[in-house]
Structure 1
């Protein structure tokens, strides 16, 4: 990797942690429906509901911080130009997610996780370790990560207040993108990870989500 590429990745990392993200797609918006179908208007959300939505979106924002770090590290580790391009494409879409969740947090009068530098550094190390195991293992790690994120987002859709249609629209689009990323990694030759590795990934994710909900 050239010096210019390293500088670019360093800049992306700083912007991710600082919350200065660029989006290539507009923030998803809910489809217009009649008020009686939509349920309570967002303006009528209770304070506990708004706080719950904000906490869930903070967790999702942390997930996108980690995604940036993972894809950056895997891109650094591979020597394959095709895989570098694939990781870059996925990272750009994940940067949309990062910007969307940050915008939603502001709308809900909330904040990102105070531990974002820690989440980013940890994910960077994990991603580089996965990348060093070879391209097939790295792609397998990407595919399993996206599968777990997809299930996690399904859970958030079940937990978000019914009235918070704006957060739902964002999470639904994120889930669709994650599904596509995971399938692309599998199609590119990603191998199935051992069950203990999958379990360890789930445990680490649980610690992160439970902590980021509050901090």
Structure 2
């Protein structure tokens, strides 16, 4: 065996080990995301929840039906952030462009803020995250890995289309959330603004527009997720 061949084998082995190390690291990250131990980098835009001190202030801001509906919507939003976190970390893991890889990691870190805010609001609404979050995370991470192997432009295109559909979804939630639920509405509005920023970043860095069949498939999967997460 020549020295050149030996060096090639060592390089190939190093790349494989790097991928394995990355996957092991992602397993640890997934556990943190799913058990709620991750921390937001920014304060909750809704601020700290005030404790009522007078009989008037103690009146509930939401009826029982409104609270249940708001909790369902915020659970859907929490699942969306579980998916976004997994998707972007999957897209970053096998991305061959270092600069674009950093872009995905940055977006994933910003999505952690949304994840934490939604979870906090679910607690305030006396509700819980989706019981299917591990399934959502695994599926989205796998999609991210597939997208990362389609080339930089397609990888970014997947991010841009994802954010475009999320924007529409959050706009709908702002219409559906009770007007008196100012805390949920404030969180969702900030999330929407951040998602617009992520889409714009992807587009300015050369995102390709995805084909109609793939966009339709993404909408279909999103519909299944939202209907299921609202209840489970």
TM-score normalised according to structure 2 size: 0.85
Q: Note if 1:141 corresponds to 2:164.
A: no
Query: Residue 21 of structure 1 is aligned with which of 38, 44, 48?
Result: 38
In structure 1, stretches of 5+ residues that fail to align are 31-39
Match of 1:82 in 2: 99
- Segment drifting more, 176-185 vs 17-26: 17-26
Aligned counterparts of 1:199 and 1:2: Cα–Cα separation in 2: 32
1:44 aligned counterpart, secondary structure: coil
Deviation at 1:6, TM superposition (A): 4.3
Please state how far the C-alpha of 1:44 moved relative to its aligned partner. 3.0
> Does the 8 A contact of 2:61 with 2:181 survive in 1?
no
Q: Take 2:136 and 2:212, find their aligned partners in 1: how far apart are those partners?
A: 24
Structure 1 partner of 2:187: 170
Question: Using the alignment, how far apart are the partners of 2:202 and 2:58 within structure 1?
Answer: 39
1:92 to 109, 114, 120: 109
Which one has more relative contact order, counting CA pairs under 8 Å at least 6 apart? 1
In the alignment, the residues of structure 2 paired with residue 121 and residue 110 of structure 1 have an alpha-carbon distance, to the nearest angstrom, of: 23
Within 1, Cα distance between the matches of 2:68 and 2:128?
11
Rg larger for: 2
Distance 1:199 1:2, change over 3 A: closer
Per-residue CA deviation, residues 156-183 of structure 1 (Å, 9 max, x unaligned), is 0000001000000000000000000011
RMSD: 1.7
2:141 to 124, 128, 133: 124
Aligned to 1:192: 209
Greater mean alpha carbon deviation, residues 125-134 or residues 158-167 = 125-134
CA spacing shift, 1:41–1:153, aligned 2, 3 Å: farther
Task: Between 42-51 and 179-188, report the one with greater CA deviation.
Answer: 42-51
* TM-score w.r.t. length of structure 1: 0.91
Query: Which residue in 1 is equivalent to 2:65?
Result: 48
1:87, 1:113 → 2: CA distance? 25
